[in-house]
A and B are shown apart, each in its own frame.
Chain A
């Protein structure tokens, strides 16, 4: 919303606006992390996406669904397991193997019985819970959000996701943390009602998810050392890719479009000057 106002002002009047002060909630400014996919020339790093998928597979997928993703997406151009030889990701052996890690519900076409079978690339990511009630029941009443779009659905994007994952801190003395909740300074919240310590109310809020990423929680296939920061960095990159799998293609195409438009504008300007040169119009 501020960004929107800023762009409006920059486009129309070049004004710089003051940041809005939020009335009730507070959260720490997200950490300044750098990504391979930053900016117009940044692209996803396939090895990082593979590591990120591993973190998702080993850790996140126990509670979080990604219902907009299919296993075939992992093997499409730009995806973590894309192999140029397999134009159709449904043929990609790595994708087939990853899909087969999961069991999905199906109907036996001969008997009509409900069965479970290994997933194929065409299947959507298996959800850890059959429905919202089951998800809440298993998570102390909290609903683990779907991660398909999480990077685009949060102010601050990948910075914010990384900060939440790595930002767990011991609660300041005097903060009464409810059962089944965890303190995280990067989570927006209002801790006033739970603050019995000295000084101002601490920034941040409570989150239903305990700290997940610890050193060596996963073992990376490419030998990269699995620190908590590395795991968070990689899984956030994977989630950023999953939120917009065509982002690399978009940026590449943009370069071509802009190059064309700039040349076309130059030609039109030259035509305009040529055409108007005998007309006194200033």
Chain B
């Protein structure tokens, strides 16, 4: 991809193959890929994510051998996996916890991209492909959560598919198409299972494009300064295979702690009750990784407005390469932008908190507050509104304006030079 291959076919067979299908050369180029030598541990999450995808696909394929996508049997077939399939409990817990781990890693990966300006020219397509992967992940995770056919599966599916129904003109038809009928039922489960099996392979395809788009401009790096010479880089293998490998194993330790010691901590108890269309759970909450978007959805008093805001929260990220006016990539050299970045990260956590709590509940217990328009000022509804405003305010206002008015610190000449100057100083 970079076109600077040092690969020399060594055997007669390799020479023969190289002129027909240069797949060994392709692999060698990937391994030799010149990578900035100053990447920190935040950069290891790309590799971690590739591993997460593989773990999900492998465990998922095995689960599909035992799972029965029929509304009458789905719940019991999952319990059969837990009870009677050899190590089925482990495979299922890895898959269920793996979804959370996947999202944890992808959020770190995205925030790393935000902090170091990895979405800026010439990496706009790389960023956009990443967002496409993220959208596919959300669709896959949502449909996967429906498959155990527990109470939260059923009611989560009902709430989310109804949301789409609020889109004018085409919404109701799309909802009917998703349901395969007039409510969430067996046909819904069948098609969700089919799509849940399909989408991960689409993700794998877009990951291929994502890596391709990475290998054209090469990695960004913590300084945000372009690679100037060979001195600035090391070959990907063995330097980053070993470093990423170390990070993957550390990540696996966290992963294993959840799988073996808190496998249900990230789930909801209601999902251990079989789906019942006649009993609505008291609070329907999505998985933790959707909570910020759920909060944005509920913050808007109008249903369609909420849907637009929720999808807009992701859509606006697609425009980031163009609405960020700063020429400096890394926030290391943008102290003001850095402050706003951390406020933005905090804001996303606050949105998650809002999504996890009932909208009418008090944020500060014991403080009475007062009624403002439709809700108490001390309710999660108002906190979510403030946080939603801050979310869009950061992306739409702070990003473009700050890039024009701030005075960034001087950036280093090259990747190697700050290393040298720091050593002297």
A residues with CB within 8 A of B: 1-5, 7-9, 11-13, 15, 17-23, 25, 40, 68, 73, 145, 148-149, 152-155, 157, 188, 243-246, 249-251, 253-254, 257-258, 261-262, 264-265, 268-269, 271-272, 275-276, 279-282
- The reply on B13 being an interface residue by CB < 8 A is no
| A152–B256 alpha-carbon span in the complex (Å) | 20
With A272-B243, A281-B38 known as contacts, the answer to whether A7 contacts B361 (CB < 8 A) is no
Contact B356 A272 (CB under 8 A): no
| A243–B353 alpha-carbon span in the complex (Å) | 30
Query: In chain A, what residue has the closest Cβ to B80?
Result: A68
Contact A253 B250 (CB under 8 A): no
| A1–B285 alpha-carbon span in the complex (Å) | 7
| A102–B161 alpha-carbon span in the complex (Å) | 45
- The reply on B246 being an interface residue by CB < 8 A is yes
With A153-B269, A244-B82 known as contacts, the answer to whether A261 contacts B361 (CB < 8 A) is no
Contact A13 B349 (CB under 8 A): yes
With A4-B266, A268-B242 known as contacts, the answer to whether A246 contacts B288 (CB < 8 A) is no
Query: In chain A, what residue has the closest Cβ to B246?
Result: A268
Contacts of B246 in A (CB 8 A): 265, 268-269, 271-272
Contact A246 B361 (CB under 8 A): no
Q: A153's contact among B270, B288, B419, by CB below 8 Å, is which?
A: B270
Could you say which of B63-71, B362-370, B388-396 contacts chain A?
A: B362-370
Most chain A beta-carbon neighbours within 10 Å: one of B79, B272, B419:
B272
Contacts of A19 in B (CB 8 A): 365
With A17-B353, A276-B239 known as contacts, the answer to whether A257 contacts B260 (CB < 8 A) is yes
Contact A68 B291 (CB under 8 A): no
Complex interface bits, B260-274 against A, C-beta within 8 A gives 1, otherwise 0 = 111111111110110
Distance in angstroms from A112 CB to nearest chain B CB is: 25
Additional pairs, 9, CB under 8 Å, beyond known A7-B262, A261-B256 = A5-B288, A8-B352, A13-B346, A20-B361, A149-B272, A262-B253, A265-B249, A268-B242, A271-B246
Contact A20 B253 (CB under 8 A): no
Distance in angstroms from B353 CB to nearest chain A CB is: 6
Q: A246's contact among B89, B287, B345, B423, by CB below 8 Å, is which?
A: B89
| A260–B356 alpha-carbon span in the complex (Å) | 36
With A7-B266, A245-B83, A246-B89 known as contacts, the answer to whether A279 contacts B239 (CB < 8 A) is yes
Query: In chain B, what residue has the closest Cβ to A2?
Result: B356
| A18–B357 alpha-carbon span in the complex (Å) | 10
Distance in angstroms from B176 CB to nearest chain A CB is: 30
| A22–B66 alpha-carbon span in the complex (Å) | 39
With A152-B272, A268-B242 known as contacts, the answer to whether A250 contacts B263 (CB < 8 A) is yes
Contacts of B353 in A (CB 8 A): 5, 9, 17
Q: How many residues in B have their beta carbons less than 8 Å from beta carbons of A?
A: 64
Distance in angstroms from A17 CB to nearest chain B CB is: 6
Contact A281 B79 (CB under 8 A): no
Complex interface bits, B233-256 against A, C-beta within 8 A gives 1, otherwise 0 = 010001100110110011011101
Distance in angstroms from B351 CB to nearest chain A CB is: 11
| A11–B238 alpha-carbon span in the complex (Å) | 30
| A17–B356 alpha-carbon span in the complex (Å) | 11
Most chain A beta-carbon neighbours within 10 Å: one of B246, B287, B416:
B246
Q: B261's contact among A5, A251, A282, by CB below 8 Å, is which?
A: A251
With A4-B288, A155-B269, A268-B249 known as contacts, the answer to whether A22 contacts B361 (CB < 8 A) is yes
| A281–B358 alpha-carbon span in the complex (Å) | 48
Q: B256's contact among A254, A268, A269, A280, by CB below 8 Å, is which?
A: A254
> Which residues between 340 and 385 of chain B lie within 8 Å of chain A, taking CB atoms?
345-346, 349, 352-353, 356-358, 360-365
Contact B259 A254 (CB under 8 A): yes
| A23–B266 alpha-carbon span in the complex (Å) | 23
Contacts of B266 in A (CB 8 A): 4, 7
Distance in angstroms from A69 CB to nearest chain B CB is: 8
Contacts of A262 in B (CB 8 A): 253
With A8-B352, A12-B349, A265-B246 known as contacts, the answer to whether A152 contacts B269 (CB < 8 A) is yes
Contact A265 B269 (CB under 8 A): no
Mind listing 6 A-B residue pairs with CB under 8 Å?
A: A7-B266, A20-B357, A253-B90, A262-B253, A269-B246, A280-B37
Contact B260 A251 (CB under 8 A): yes
With A23-B361, A152-B269 known as contacts, the answer to whether A68 contacts B356 (CB < 8 A) is no
Contact A257 B256 (CB under 8 A): yes
Contact B260 A275 (CB under 8 A): no
- The reply on B107 being an interface residue by CB < 8 A is yes
Q: B288's contact among A8, A188, A254, A281, by CB below 8 Å, is which?
A: A8
Contacts of B291 in A (CB 8 A): 5, 8
Contacts of A155 in B (CB 8 A): 269
Distance in angstroms from B88 CB to nearest chain A CB is: 9
| A68–B81 alpha-carbon span in the complex (Å) | 12
Q: A1's contact among B38, B83, B283, B420, by CB below 8 Å, is which?
A: B283
With A17-B353, A22-B361 known as contacts, the answer to whether A275 contacts B270 (CB < 8 A) is no
Closest 8 CB pairs of A and B: A254-B260, A153-B272, A268-B246, A5-B356, A152-B272, A265-B249, A281-B37, A20-B357
Distance in angstroms from A57 CB to nearest chain B CB is: 20
Distance in angstroms from B265 CB to nearest chain A CB is: 6
